[in-house]
Amino acid sequence: MTKKGIVSTTDNENRKARVLFPESNSITPELPIALHISEVKVNDTVLVEFWGSSLAEGIITENLSLTTPESIPTKLSQLENDAGFITADQVPQIAVSTYIHQQISPAQVWIISHNLGRFPAVTIVDSAGSIVLGDIEYISVQRVQISFTAAFAGKAYLN
């Protein structure tokens, strides 16, 4: 939607202007302007040319057009990425494999074999679901040894 209006009032000191839209008899909030020796510009468009020391001695040379979208986007998917930023769609999705080891019989040392092919992060929980800290030693990219101060049963989550 495009509305056309004319500069209604200007404030030389604060470098602001208000625009009147005749069809609705509404006035905009103050808009920033740039004052030059012989003209007033809003967004690099010459709106007023003047010849005296006061803006009151000027003449409107062009109507101001403000363009607003018919509807304002409310979803991220409706916005355009014209700034060149990376969007969520451009980030590669990496499938992270997880291995869950269940230690059924209580033990003070757990030796876990997995096929993750890397040194995974390890989280240990006891049979009550509480997180337990242990000394983790990576024997290889496929084996982990976890030592505890006491024997217990639980699960180890490797990812």
Average pLDDT for residues 141-149, to the nearest whole number? Answer: 96
Can you give the pLDDT at residue 36?
Answer: 41
Using a pLDDT cut of 90, give the percent of the chain over it: 38
Average pLDDT for residues 4-17, to the nearest whole number? Answer: 54
Full-prediction pTM beyond 0.85? no
pLDDT (tens digit per residue) in 27-82? 655 555 544 445 556 666 655 554 444 444 344 444 545 455 556 666 666 666 66
Q: SS3 of 88, please?
A: helix
Separation between Cα atoms, residue 68 and residue 44, nearest integer Å: 18
Alpha carbon separation from 18 to 8, 10, 30, 49, 150 (Å, rounded): 6, 6, 5, 16, 77
